Chain A
Amino acid sequence: SQQGEEDPQALSIQEGENATMNCSYKTSINNLQWYRQNSGRGLVHLILIRSNEREKHSGRLRVTLDTSKKSSSLLITASRAADTASYFCATDAIGGFKTIFGAGTRLFVKA
């Protein structure tokens, strides 16, 4: 079964608005990552947050992690049409060599 489950499955917003995506996971983690996938392309790493961190920023991205609730959120501020993509959360198995991806959120930003 998938380690991460994302919510919502799809999100449509206007350019300039903020987009928030949520991810829940089931087991203990060392870190959680977010990736973006543009149509027809491979996944691209966006940001990693470690289990001892609560919040992390990178440009217009803000990630939070709540290990007590086993959940994370990705906020994209001031969205642009170019942000249209699928976004996935991912966690590493404790022993490594196995990164497990959530089902993804499809974000559509209308110009």
Chain B
Amino acid sequence: DTAVSQTPKYLVTQMGNDKSIKCEQNLGHDTMYWYKQDSKKFLKIMFSYNNKELIINETVPNRFSPKSPDKAHLNLHINSLELGDSAVYFCASSQEGGRGSPLHFGNGTRLTVT
């Protein structure tokens, strides 16, 4: 049973399009995250949510809009895609806002913008 699952695994699209990535966790965690990993493997936090409430927005362009319909789901919608948005996007979850509690990651969504 997958603990953190995200779909799709691959996403290829053209500049200017709008796309969404879905994430679900079955661990009963309160906190969910979106991270972006670039081609050099740098992993940067984008958003964190706790019990459906936005806690951290790490100066992400407002073309990126996360939505958490319940604490088990955190989706990411991206408007007007740009070449620089190409990356691997990871969803993760944890208990207690990650304070001393490990993050559990999905297997990523590789987004390619052409």
- List A residues 14-64 near B (Cβ within 8 Å): 30-31, 33, 35, 37, 40-45, 48, 50
Cα–Cα, bound, A106→B43 (Å)? 14
Query: Chain A nearest CB: distance from B62 CB in Å?
Result: 19
Q: Flag if A101 contacts B43 (CB, 8 Å).
A: yes
In the complex, per-residue mask of B68-95: 1 if CB is within 8 Å of any chain A CB, else 0: 0000000000000000000000101010
Instruction: Tell me, yes or no, whether B103 is within 8 Å of chain A by CB.
Output: yes
Known: A99-B45, A103-B42. A45 touches B102 (CB 8 A): yes
Listed A/B pairs (7) with beta-carbon separation below 8 Å:
A42-B106, A45-B103, A96-B97, A96-B98, A97-B31, A97-B98, A99-B33
Chain B residues with Cβ below 8 Å from A104 are 41-43
Closest to A104 in B: B41
Q: Give residues in B with beta carbon < 8 Å to A.
A: 4, 31, 33, 35, 40-45, 48, 50, 55-56, 58, 90, 92, 94, 96-100, 102-108
Please, how many angstroms separate the alpha-carbon atoms of A42 and B90 in the complex? 7
**Is the Cβ of A97 less than 8 Å from the Cβ of B102?**
no
Tell me whether A48 and B102 are in contact (CB under 8 A).
yes
- Report the tally of A-B residue pairs with Cβ distances under 8 A: 70
CA distance A50 to B29 in the complex (A): 21
Q: Is A88 an interface residue (CB 8 A)?
A: yes
Check if B96 sits within 8 Å of A96, measured CB to CB.
yes
Residues of A within 8 A of B (CB): 2, 30-31, 33, 35, 37, 40-45, 48, 50, 86, 88, 90, 92, 95-101, 103-104, 106
Q: How far is the CB of A61 from chain B (nearest CB, A)?
A: 14
Q: Which of chain B's residues have a CB closer than 8 A to the CB of A48?
A: 100, 102
